[in-house]
C-alpha cells in the first residue's frame, strides 16, 4: 500500500510518500521537507502564527512536489495521513485540513497520525525491528522512555518532570548566545570545547526510575556563564561541552534503569532494542554514549538516519501505513489535538507479566 504523509506541526512543511509491503517492510518513494528555520531565526524560536501562515503558503506545492518525485498521481495513493497533533495548533490544522480535503476529493481514507507515533515507528521502516521495543523519545517537546508493544500501544517508563531535552538544548544555546535550533549549535560548539572545565549538576543521576529533570542544569549553566561574562569563544565552547556531557551522563543513567525494567518485563527477548528517536536523536555524542550503554545491558541501539530524526513527512506517512495495515483509518471529523500523549489509552504496567517498573 502507498501512503501520502503530511507534517506541519512545527516549523517544517513536509510531505512524503512511502510504500509498505504486506510483510511489514517499506520504502520511501518521495521525501520533501521545506524548513522554515530562516523565517523564525530572528525571533530565537518558532513563532506559531508565522509558522501557520508559512504552512498555508507552502503546503500545496510541497505535496505536488512529493507526487512528482514519486512519479505518482493522487489516484495511485491508498490513503492520506497527516499529523493531527501534538504540536502548534495553527500548523496542525493546516496539514490536517489539507489531508481531509484530499481524502474527500480523491475518495481515499484519512489517517490522523500522532506526531510522536511517527517518531516512534520510524525504526520499523529503517531497521525492520519487531515489537516490543524500548523507545527513548527526545524532541523539542518530549523526553520519554516508552515500552512500545504495538501500534497505538505504549507504556510510559519515564518522562521529564520539567523541560524536554530538546527544549533544554534550545534554552542552553540561547543563553550562550547561539542560534536556533539550539541542539545542532550546542553540538557543534561542544565538539571544540573542554567538557571538564566547568562542573555542572547531573539531575536525578543515581536515583531509581527513568524520569528526567533538566531545569536545574539549565540554571547552573546560566550561573556559570554569568560568573565569567563576557564569554569568549573558548568559554562558549567549554560551557556547551560541559552541558552536553552532563546531559548525556543523565540520559545514559536513566536509560540504564529503563533497560533494566524493560528486560525484566520481557525476559524472553534475547537481544532487545533500544530505539532513540526525535530531533535530539540526531546528536552524535548522545548516540555514541547510548550505543555503549545499551551494549552493556545486552541491548542494541537503533537510531534512525539523521535525516529522519527531525520532522519530516516520511515518519507520518509510515505511521499512517502501519495504521492502515491494521484497518485504523479515521473519520473526516478527526480533531486537531495540540496535546496528545502517546500512552493515553494504555495502563501503566509493562509487559505481559505486568511486572511494572522495577529499576
- The yes or no reply on residue 280 touching ligand KG4 (CB under 6 A) is yes
- The yes or no reply on residue 144 touching Zn ion (CB under 5 A) is no
Smallest separation (angstroms) from ligand KG4 to the CB of 140: 3
SS3 44: coil
Answer whether 236's CB lies under 8 Å from 176's CB. yes
* Closer CB to ligand KG4, 102 or 173, in the complex: 173
Selected from 149, 163, 235, 311, the binder of ligand KG4 by CB under 6 A is 311
* Closer CB to Zn ion, 311 or 322, in the complex: 311
- The yes or no reply on residue 193 touching ligand KG4 (CB under 6 A) is no
* Closer CB to ligand KG4, 52 or 261, in the complex: 52
Query: Which grid cell sits at 53?
Result: 501562515
- The yes or no reply on residue 5 touching ligand KG4 (CB under 6 A) is no
Q: Quick one: which H or E segment has residue 263?
A: helix 233-265
* Closer CB to Zn ion, 235 or 311, in the complex: 311
Residues written for the chain: 359
Written as one string, the DSSP assignment of 274-322 is EEEESGGGG-HHHHHHHHHHHHHTT-EEE---GGGTSS-HHHHHHHHHH
Query: Which grid cell sits at 32?
Result: 520533501
* Closer CB to Zn ion, 19 or 311, in the complex: 311
- The yes or no reply on residue 312 touching Zn ion (CB under 5 A) is no
Those residues whose C-beta lies under 8 Å from the C-beta of residue 101, and which sit 6 or more positions away, are none
Point out which span in 72-80, 205-213, 263-271, 280-288 binds ligand KG4 (CB under 6 A): 280-288
**What does the alpha-carbon distance between residue 154 and residue 45 come to, in Å, rounded to a whole number?**
30
Query: Which grid cell sits at 30?
Result: 518521495
Q: Which residues bind Zn ion (CB under 5 A)?
A: 139, 311
Q: Which residues bind ligand KG4 (CB under 6 A)?
A: 10, 139-141, 166, 169-170, 181-184, 187, 278-280, 282-283, 310-311
Amino acid at each position: 500500500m502507498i501512503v501520502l504523509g503530511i507534517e506541519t506541526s512545527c516549523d517544517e512543511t513536509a510531505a512524503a510518500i512511502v510504500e509498505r509491503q504486506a510483510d511489514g517492510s517499506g520504502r520511501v518513494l518521495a521525501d520533501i521537507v521545506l524548513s522554515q528555520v530562516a523565517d523564525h531565526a530572528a525571533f530565537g524560536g518558532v513563532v506559531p502564527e508565522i509558522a501557520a501562515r508559512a504552512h498555508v503558503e507552502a503546503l500545496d506545492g510541497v505535496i505536488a512536489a512529493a507526487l512528482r518525485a514519486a512519479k505518482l498521481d493522487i489516484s495511485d495513493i491508498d490513503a492520506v495521513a497527516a499529523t493531527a497533533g501534538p504540536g502548534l495548533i495553527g500548523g496542525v490544522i493546516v496539514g490536517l485540513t489539507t489531508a481531509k480535503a484530499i481524502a474527500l476529493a480523491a475518495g481515499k481514507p484519512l489517517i490522523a497520525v500522532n506526531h510522536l507515533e511517527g517518531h516512534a515507528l520510524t525504526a520499523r521502516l529503517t531497521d525492520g525491528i519487531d515489537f516490543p521495543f524500548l523507545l527513548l523519545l527526545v524532541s523539542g517537546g518530549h523526553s520519554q522512555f516508552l515500552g512500545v508493544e504495538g501500534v497505538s500501544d505504549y507504556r510510559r517508563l519515564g518522562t521529564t518532570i520539567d523541560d524536554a531535552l530538546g527544549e533544554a538544548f534550545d534554552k542552553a544555546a540561547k543563553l550562550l548566545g547561539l542560534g536556533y535550533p539550539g541542539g545542532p549549535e550546542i553540538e557543534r560548539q561542544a565538539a571544540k570545547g573542554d567538557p571538564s572545565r566547568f562542573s555542572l549538576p547531573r539531575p536525578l543521576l543515581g536515583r531509581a526510575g527513568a524520569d528526567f529533570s533538566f531545569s536545574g542544569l539549565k540554571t547552573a549553566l546560566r550561573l556559570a556563564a554569568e560568573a565569567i561574562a563576557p564569554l569568549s569563544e573558548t568559554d562558549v565552547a567549554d560551557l556547551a561541552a560541559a552541558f552536553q556531557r552532563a546531559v548525556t551522563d543523565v540520559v545514559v543513567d536513566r536509560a540504564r534503569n529503563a533497560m533494566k525494567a524493560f528486560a525484566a518485563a520481557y525476559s524472553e527477548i534475547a537481544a532487545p532494542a533500544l530505539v532513540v528517536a526525535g530531533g535530539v536523536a540526531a546528536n552524535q555524542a548522545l548516540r555514541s554514549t547510548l550505543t555503549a550503554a545499551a551494549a552493556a545491558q545486552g541491548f542494541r541501539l537503533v537510531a534512525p538516519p539523521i535525516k529522519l530524526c527531525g520532522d519530516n513527512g516520511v515518519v507520518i506517512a509510515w505511521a499512517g501505513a502501519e495504521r492502515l495495515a491494521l484497518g485504523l483509518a479515521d473519520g473526516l471529523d478527526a480533531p486537531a489535538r495540540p496535546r496528545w500523549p502517546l500512552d493515553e489509552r494504555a495502563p501503566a504496567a509493562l509487559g505481559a507479566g505486568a511486572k511494572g517498573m522495577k529499576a
